[in-house]
Amino acid sequence: MSREARYAYDGLDRVFHEKARLGIVTSLAGHGDGLGFSELKALCGLTDGNLNRHLQVLEEAGFVRIEKTFEGRRPHTRCSLTDEGRLRFSAYLDVLERVLGEASRAARRPDIDNARLRTKPA
Amino acid sequence: MPDVDEAILQIAEIRAQMAAGTRFRGFAPLAVALTAMLALVTTALQAAWPDRLADTTEHYLATWIVAAVLAIGVVGTEALTRSREQHGALAETMIQSTLRQLAPFGAAGAIIAFVLFKVAPEILWVLPGFWQMLVALAGFASLPSQPRAIAWIGGWYFICGTVVLLLAGQSQALTPGMMGIPFAIGQSLAALILHRANEAPR
């Protein structure tokens, strides 16, 4: 990567980098066997329509698997992260961590510079 | 910037949570099958040269400790390489999480063996059954990150451990089959389960 593009952060995948989808993927990340539609809806605080729309985006990207079955007579939708989804989300977290690390260092730098100035002999 | 630092901590938590809910694919079926072969070879060697490799309980156990170290080396080395291929950026977290699950059992087996060798060699006959029990517990402990069928392997080692403890307790003597048969069959089945899980759609 060139020095000029240091802050390009191409790894921040737009599919994940959206508040609702970030919530969905984070919820699914901790549940290897996946989550039911209503559990996911409650965890993410989304409406049926919104959750459906975001799940569709994630499914089209190949990051989420949606299985529709029947529990007795009631339809049941189960959502889980695919292996590809886990890998890509993990890579996304790496970049996000780097962004935050650089932000944290940048914020501390003025303090260090000021401290150096204060201790500099006249 | 406490908010940023807190966000970094939260990312680490998400990653740990993700590792806990992800199946660890580092264990290669072939490497696990090799440990079954190793158990068979060790049994055959002890049967062929009992006066050298199984004349005393100490020699018997020392031979199996060498076999166990080799087996852990083969599976462990392969797991390190394979988990980097399979888990990418999550590999380090997955390896640490798996080590946290399994290392205590390995350490317990080694410490108990060391203590018995030092202070109570007359009851060393308990070790094969005890080790099999520990492998069973390790199998059950790894269930969240392994195929569910691994529970059967845990059950197998649990039964074997009980039977071997009873048999060894009656005779106060160890035969090559007391380690060889449980591990050869148990590891072969574990390799088969891992192979089938790898073939399943992800």
pTM, two decimal places: 0.73
Q: For residues A11-18, give the mean pLDDT.
A: 82
Count the domains in chain A. Answer: 1
pLDDT tens digits, one per residue of B37-67: 999 999 999 999 999 898 899 999 999 999 9
* Contact (Cβ atoms closer than 8 angstroms) between residue B24 and residue B86: no
Whether residue A25 is predicted with pLDDT greater than 80 in this model: the reply is yes
- Identity at A19, one-letter amino acid code: K
ipTM greater than 0.85, yes or no? no
Domain that holds residue B187: 2-19+26-199
Contacts of A30 in chain B (CB under 8 A): 14, 17-18, 20-21
Q: Which helix (H) or strand (E) holds A86?
A: helix A83-119
- Whether A91 sits inside 8 A of B20 (CB atoms) is no
Count the domains in chain B. Answer: 1
Asked if the structure places residue A2 within a domain, the reply is: no
Contacts of B4 in chain A (CB under 8 A): 100, 103-104, 107
* pLDDT value, residue A114: 63
CATH number (domain holding residue A41): 1.10.10.10
Q: Comparing B156 with B198, which gets the higher pLDDT?
A: B156
Strand bridging mode A64-71 / A74-81:
antiparallel
| Numbered residues of chain B with Cβ closer than 8 Å to any chain A Cβ | 1, 4-5, 7-8, 11-12, 14-15, 17-18, 20-23, 87-90, 144, 202
Asked if the structure places residue A8 within a domain, the reply is: no
Asked if the structure places residue A114 within a domain, the reply is: yes
A12–B contact, CB cutoff 8 A: no
Domain that holds residue A108: 19-119
Question: What is the longest distance spanned by two Cα atoms in chain A?
Answer: 83
Of A71-75, B70-74, B99-103, B142-146, minimum mean pLDDT range: A71-75
- Whether A103 sits inside 8 A of B22 (CB atoms) is no
Strand bridging mode A74-81 / A35-36:
antiparallel
Contacts of B20 in chain A (CB under 8 A): 30, 32
Confidence of residue A118 (pLDDT cuts 50, 70, 90): low
* Contact (Cβ atoms closer than 8 angstroms) between residue B20 and residue A116: no
* pLDDT value, residue A39: 93
Query: Hey, what long-range contacts does B75-80 have (CB within 8 A, 24 or more apart)?
Result: B75/B27, B75/B28, B75/B31, B75/B32, B75/B35, B78/B26, B78/B27, B78/B28, B78/B30, B78/B31, B79/B26, B79/B27, B79/B28, B79/B31, B80/B26
Contacts of A96 in chain B (CB under 8 A): 11
Q: What's the CA gap between B48 and B58, in Å, rounded?
A: 18
Q: For residues B107-124, give the mean pLDDT.
A: 94
CA distances from B54 to B45, B49, B50, B51 (A): 9, 7, 5, 6
